[in-house]
Chains A and B, each alone.
Chain A
């Protein structure tokens, strides 16, 4: 049933490293955060986006203006916690309306210390990113001095060359056991486990694991710094290199491991995993002006 919160009016600013400023009000945690600002064009699925480890180091703006409508629930997460550095939208819904809703998005963000800003002309922000490229930014509810914020954005580390994977990968191998929630029924019926698969966790989304499971895979998830020998010791029938955050060149150990595995086992790479596979095969990567998310 409907859960309603009050709309707040704590002022918040978004400052980009090129000097562009956007104003809004807070609906999440208070504070100040830097990150690379990117946009996502999905019209639904904000909870999945917030908890997708690939967004580590990034501030996400949603192009769809109305966010929070269906609240949050325990099932629709891609990892155990949100990883975005901040969340910028046009209008936050203080009411959560969905039979699976267990809480409001605003409270969810506050509880996890994630900043949320509403009231921003997100289309203008998106167009700016499209033309000027994804860039470093800062969001703040503390410091309302625009010049100072721009300086802080410029001084922030950014994504290039950073190893963000270390911050999101699991610490020890574990078998994947959970399945799709009862409320979600994929049309193809789940099969019993028949293939032994290793998933290298570069920031893996749980949905990838749930889908592999439903396709009949018996999966063990291993940390990103697992060596090739350790992986081979599981005697897997296939290896999945997962999605993950940041610059693939910031994860040399994973590239090295992959290079050793090539030719020995079938390997599937997704997103960052795919880029790492490319680097391991001798290719090169460069950063696009802006990524496609959504």
Chain B
């Protein structure tokens, strides 16, 4: 059936900000869908609040609304645009939920909009646990024993019937929020309550525990003619009990016979039909009892998902793109496969390699959070690796993780190196510790498995402790055994003369066959160097000298049966290399690796724009990245894609093969930047700013000299490499000071310290986060205004892309801070000063490309906090606010264009206001204090855009899930120095009709200023206290600034409770003042929507 002709205009909903369980995979899916539908001639309308996406680039849709994803806003867009159809299956759970809401309100019917992809009925059938169970019963498929509950009493009854341990799953939430395991009644009561609160409809499913069962997923697609294909099977390394997003997963399934696979396949197809997913992709999860193969269905998602993005990258089959085409009427047999060009999309992909996905966690950012892996997802990113064997892929995956590891151990980073094996000698406590580490899944369990294998633990025993399939464990054992073989070639004493003679070198070193085998097992040169007592570079030259070179193979959807036209490669050690090296001018772009807090989608956005820009100029673009969620790893984005770890070894392998004319390290965040010096040394041509000038900006001493030379201001500062040294420096500068390691992103281990004692504590941690690099100590400028500037420069001229004023004062990491374009409180003179400083720095550092500078302004003095001569996190936001792709301009400058050639000669004047707000993951880390500080904690961002600041801010809050109340009760409790400032805020709230409650001190000040206020107990003062009120739903807005250096227990309780109950909680005075502004605008004007294309057009006038 060809394309439908009865629909012309399609509304797509994106997934909003990056949050845990809903990350940039939806940008990848959404971008594919927008492109596919536009190419087919449809008019595409898009709603997505996340400015850091490629999807919200103005070219991707006809009209793009960067507005909050709420039913009210969606209705306004529908009323304005009158689309024919709504495609809700590409925006994750957010997209599906909001589509359900507008359907239920009758909005779709009212405006005559039909849902395509999945209809209301099938979404309900898949999402509503009760109806899902009925559907599965109808087609004879098993589910774990279970029951639904809507209140605690009911929940206890169901738990009694099912028996402990039980799994508690709230219905209608994001990615298993609140899903948890209870082993006893006490735990159950607490977790059930949290689950009921997390569910949008206060419904939880209490389920038979299938902990330890084997877990599988199938990615399935169906068309309007009822053709169904399986795109990919996935087997989880971590068994049931760990959320699939937090599991190491492997594609294809490894330990299923064909019979079992076919049974699963049949089941998946009948699920698709029964649920009635008309078209598109779905993800179906199964659990299998390892003793007898009893198969149960866990869940199905009637939409594209994180797993479908992974399956797309793992197979080369673009699920989201095909899903979009199926939604508008095409059938699978009508859509050609881009890669083979010969086969249609109804051919199920087959692969001839093994894919391993490993999640990336950032528990170190949330001290006190529980790092046990459960059915509720906690990872913030993932990396994917491709190898010809599981062993190779696993080791490549581990070294892609950016956690300082080079594979499965054997890299000198294990803290138990040199310990006695678990023999009779070893103490019981070591053994008990190890057993516990194996039994309880945590991010580092894989390394403890390695340790146990090294100690000689039998696979059966390991399986009993971990429930991980023996096949995986045996493969790990083979890696460990080979490590033992390699260790025999360790050189104890390095006799330089012996080493320099090639003949003796042969005698000393590992046999050719073993070295080759080590490479096929995925060992990195670094690991081999560690095992044999050499530097990584020495192993590399030995290996290359012996002709052991990687071969690059194609990802082609068909296991080489048909010729492939898409150059999507992975490295392995085999006999045949399939790269086709062109004679064109080519530029290699290094991506950012797995998403983590501090380095996320914003950098991928920049890499993608670099690829687009250089394509425009006729260059061949070569993308290197290991992140399966991204647009950069779409085979469509660049001319060539290498799905590889971003380590020196792997990048050099590609560079030596491709011999690019230039390498871009500026766009992928800190990961590629860290490789810059080594790449240049190895002969790579790093384009843009020179690594030496990067060093001048990063190295604190050289940076100070630089500023001195330019006569610019810097807060008093120093560097230290030891604790004693640090104390001396801090004494000289005077407390409070900010301490942080150099060469890290996202303010890792960065803190404000007020006294010597805390300084000592932090030094220990900081040295750990960045060993070998000095610790930076700066005077902390209290209450300063913080400014972020993004600029482009061509070596001669510098043009400001955007000046952003932070809403929170200095001291809060810029990534976590809300910020505004244009600045709202700066005088023209200060702005001129900032521009002059920026230009001077760009010129002195000879910046070619992007530059980001952070300024602090105190007492009308402009201080420079840091200069980052690279793409910054704010580039996409600035681009969306100003209507110019700054990353594209920068990429063109880097290959030799200048600003006047590109027509970029002066700053953009905008006549609207754009606010960027950070989105924080505290709802995943229960009990962790939500106060912001200099260490970045946010996972994503949203943008609010409108004619005035108040409304733009209100929209940004709404988009971030913190909808500001328009009426009700505000609770205010602030530290002494804020009490004076809060009066005006409270007055405004009171005038707007809010009731005010406050703790004693704050209440006294407010009352004195004539504001009606009710005093309320602090937690330790008596009952009912403030937390009781929050729990009862009597508080609608919280303004609570931290009272001292260390958070007090009751403040933490207030803020945590606010997170649980979704009550906006503001922890700074400037934030509170912006919030009041926002509420005022909402009350007086009401919300309206406008596309960014319209905003940009208004600027042109």
Contacts and interface: CB of A to CB of B under 8 A. Distances in A.
B390 A66 contact: yes
In which size bucket is the chain A interface? 35 or more
Contacts of A2: 459-460, 463, 470-471, 474
The CB with the most chain A CB atoms within 10 A, among B267, B469, B474, is that of B474
B460 A44 contact: no
A99 interface: yes
Given A90-B389, A99-B290, A41 B354 contact: no
A278 B661 CA distance: 58
Contact of B352 (A45, A47, A123): A123
Residue with the highest number of chain B CB atoms closer than 10 Å, among A4, A39, A43, A294: A43
Given A64-B350, A65-B353, A97 B561 contact: no
A27 to B, nearest CB: 14
B987 to A, nearest CB: 69
Interface stretch (B253-261, B592-600, B877-885, B1080-1088): B253-261
A10 interface: no
Interface in A232-249: none
Contacts of B354: 65-66
Interface residues of B, number: 47
Nearest to A185: B263
Contacts of A98: 255-257, 260
B270 interface: yes
B678 interface: no
Contacts, number: 135
B559 interface: yes
B578 to A, nearest CB: 8
Contacts of A42: 258, 350
B263 A76 contact: no
A289 to B, nearest CB: 12
Chain A interface main SS type: loop
B291 interface: yes
A286 interface: no
A226 interface: no
B418 interface: no
A54 B918 CA distance: 62
Given A95-B471, A98-B255, A184-B263, A122 B352 contact: yes
A5 B1015 CA distance: 75
B562 to A, nearest CB: 8
B293 interface: yes
B553 interface: yes
Interface string A258-294: 0000000000000000000000000000000000101
A63 B559 contact: yes
A73 B257 CA distance: 10
B388 A95 contact: no
B266 interface: yes
Contacts of B263: 184-186
Contact of B559 (A41, A70, A99): A41
A292 B463 CA distance: 39
A48 B257 CA distance: 10
A66 B254 CA distance: 8
Contact of A70 (B256, B351, B463, B563): B256
Interface string B128-160: 000000000001100000000000000000000
Contacts of B352: 41, 63-65, 122-123, 126
A126 B270 contact: no
Given A1-B460, A63-B352, A64-B351, A187 B270 contact: yes
A292 B574 CA distance: 24
Given A70-B255, A123-B352, A123-B559, A183 B293 contact: yes
B259 A99 contact: no
A44 B258 contact: yes
A233 B459 CA distance: 59
B453 interface: no
B576 interface: yes
Interface in A10-40: 22, 39
Contacts of A90: 388-389
Contact of A97 (B258, B260, B266, B471): B471
Contact of B255 (A45, A69, A181): A69
A33 to B, nearest CB: 22
Contact of A75 (B259, B292, B388, B553): B259
A186 B267 CA distance: 9
Interface string A139-169: 0000000000000000000000000000000
A288 to B, nearest CB: 12
B574 A124 contact: yes
A130 B561 contact: yes
A75 B263 CA distance: 15
Contact of A69 (B254, B267, B350): B254
B70 to A, nearest CB: 42
Contacts of B350: 41-43, 63-64, 294
A41 B1080 CA distance: 65
Interface in B236-256: 252-256
B150 to A, nearest CB: 33
A169 to B, nearest CB: 25
Nearest to B513: A9
A191 interface: no
A63 B293 contact: no
A218 interface: no
B293 A100 contact: yes
A26 to B, nearest CB: 16
A97 B140 contact: no
B900 interface: no
Contact of A127 (B460, B471, B560): B560
A127 B576 CA distance: 10
Contacts of B291: 99
A43 B388 contact: no
Interface in B112-142: 139-140
B558 interface: yes
A108 to B, nearest CB: 13
B253 A44 contact: yes
Given A100-B293, A130-B561, A4 B257 contact: no
A70 B560 contact: no
A91 interface: yes
A203 interface: no
Interface string B321-363: 0000000000000000000000000000011111000000000
Interface in B629-687: none
- Residue from B255, B257, B351, B576 having most chain A Cβ neighbours under 10 A: B257
Nearest to B387: A65
A91 B387 CA distance: 12
B471 A100 contact: no
B259 A76 contact: yes
Contacts of A64: 252, 350-352, 559
Interface in B806-849: none
Interface string B539-574: 000000000000001000011111100000000001
Contacts of B140: 187
A57 interface: no
A99 B233 CA distance: 19
A220 B353 CA distance: 42
7 contacts: A2-B471, A48-B258, A69-B254, A97-B470, A99-B293, A187-B140, A294-B561
Given A65-B353, A66-B390, 13 more contacts: A41-B559, A64-B350, A66-B389, A69-B255, A70-B471, A76-B257, A98-B255, A99-B290, A123-B352, A123-B560, A124-B574, A183-B293, A184-B263
Interface of B: 139-140, 233, 252-261, 263, 266-267, 270, 290-293, 350-354, 388-390, 459-460, 463, 469-471, 474, 478, 553, 558-563, 574-576
Interface of A: 1-2, 4, 7, 22, 39, 41-45, 47-48, 63-66, 69-70, 73, 75-76, 90-91, 93-95, 97-100, 121-124, 126-127, 130, 181, 183-187, 292, 294
* In the complex, the 10 A-B pairs of residues with the closest C-beta atoms, listed nearest first: A45-B258, A63-B559, A124-B576, A2-B470, A97-B471, A95-B474, A121-B575, A44-B258, A121-B574, A63-B352
